[in-house]
Amino acid sequence: MTDSSSQVVPGPFAVISGQQVHRALHGREKDMIDLIEHGYRLHGNGDGATVNPPSYFLRFPNQPANRIIALPAAVGDEIGVAGIKWISSFPANVAKGVPRASAVVVLNDLETGYPLACLEGSIISAARTAASAALAAVRLSEGRERPRRLGVLGTGLIARYIHTYLVAAGLEFEEVGLYDASAEHARGFAGYLERAGAAKATTHDSAEGLIRSSDLVVFATTAGTPHVTEPAWFTHHPLVLHVSLRDLSPEIILDSCNIVDDVEHCLKAQTSPHLAEELTGNRDHIHATLFDVLTGSFTPPTDRTVIFSPFGLGVLDLVVSDHVYRQVAGCPDAVVVDDFFHELSRYGKDNGA
């Protein structure tokens, strides 16, 4: 016989829209950077506070450019949620006038395992990515002259979020250089910068020109294989936020100081650091994780190109998602399904608990 005093009734299930996610995050960029740093520290401590299994890639034999990725994770500590981000990448969407990526995040209660909410995930993913990039830019530029010339390769939604978060982190740019395979997209991004009152924007007709004229370079492309192959373009030793992971040739990786978010996660799925491992047969080109930098156990050199390649941790998606859930769930316009879970009696309602 089950002790009724020990019974737990799952709470209502919330559905949180993209508009609500945006409202919970917009204008709080600095708070999100701090939150992401907290997530990195929880994960890096290695004391079981986080669980971050390998991501799973769903690929389509007849659509090799497309994929959907599952990122499961769990975060203990005061956060106390498990969950999964289910994010698709369909590059042809851009030509259809919609962003490449779409996503949902499901949060689960750690006590019962029951789902708490389903959140629109593309904004969460973009904010997490941008906050991670901004955190890395600030910490990796310590000890060197602060970057003043920003170069952005790939001018989509992620690049827009990264620029917003870099500025929120206190970085000031005299010029923002832009390069995109689509000149129209680069012009559109320049228009965004002008409306945002940002620094002067300059569009470039080649990746080389952009890289050589920038001391902070952001890669936010849809590239599936390396398209930047000349180490000589980096002889001025910029700081590189290699967010899209597959832009740089192994030769450039091997000629640089490489920081990743998680070694095991980043060295797979044909990322540029993974290609360098396949070429050399070792991981000597990986110098540290961002956690090592945050805790002071590794100091990036000032006389080499420093590349940050973040694979993207599901743990960080959950940290942001939990924040949004706590902000939105109690709001008057929250969409809550009280009877989402129907079969809560083991033997049926008529047979007792």
CB 267 within 8 A of CB 253: no
Residue 175 identity: E
Q: Does position 117 have pLDDT exceeding 90, yes or no?
A: yes
State whether the Cα torsion 189-191-195-198 is positive or negative.
Answer: positive
Scored b (16 or more CB within 10 A) or e, 312-322 reads: bbbbbbbbbbb
pLDDT at 343: 75
- Whole-angstrom Cα distance, residue 275 to residue 136? 23
Tell me how crowded residue 55 is: count the other CB atoms within 10 A of its CB: 19
pTM for the predicted model, two decimal places: 0.92
The boundaries of every CATH 3.40.50.720 domain in the chain are: 134-309
| Tens-place pLDDT, residues 25-84 | 999 999 999 999 999 999 999 888 999 999 999 999 999 999 999 999 999 988 999 999
3-class DSSP state of 255:
coil
Any idea which architecture 134-309 has in CATH? Answer: 3-Layer(aba) Sandwich (3.40)
pLDDT band at 199 (very low <50, low <70, confident <90, very high): confident
| Tens-place pLDDT, residues 217-241 | 999 998 989 999 999 999 999 999 9
Those residues whose C-beta lies under 8 Å from the C-beta of residue 122, and which sit 6 or more positions away, are 18, 87, 99, 101, 102, 103, 157
- Residue 80's region, left for phi above 0, alpha for psi from -120 to 50, else beta, is left
Q: Does position 303 have pLDDT exceeding 50, yes or no?
A: yes
The boundaries of every CATH 3.30.1780.10 domain in the chain are: 12-124+314-351
* Terminal-to-terminal C-alpha distance of the chain: 8
Q: pLDDT above 90 covers what percent of the chain?
A: 81
Lowest-confidence region among 86-95, 204-213, 339-348:
339-348
Q: Does position 285 have pLDDT exceeding 70, yes or no?
A: yes
E strand or H helix at 265, and its extent? Answer: helix 263-266
| Tens-place pLDDT, residues 75-111 | 998 899 999 999 999 989 988 988 888 999 999 999 8
pLDDT band at 352 (very low <50, low <70, confident <90, very high): very low
- Whole-angstrom Cα distance, residue 151 to residue 148? 10
Q: Which CATH number fits domain 12-124+314-351: 3.40.50.1980, 3.30.565.10, 3.30.1780.10, 3.20.20.70?
A: 3.30.1780.10
**Minimal CA–CA distance to 22: which of 310, 319, 327?**
327
Instruction: Report the pLDDT averaged over residues 327-333.
Output: 86
The DSSP-derived string for 128-173 is HHHHHHHHHHHHHTTTSPPP-EEEEES-SHHHHHHHHHHHHTT---
* Pairing mode of beta strands 257-260, 306-309: parallel
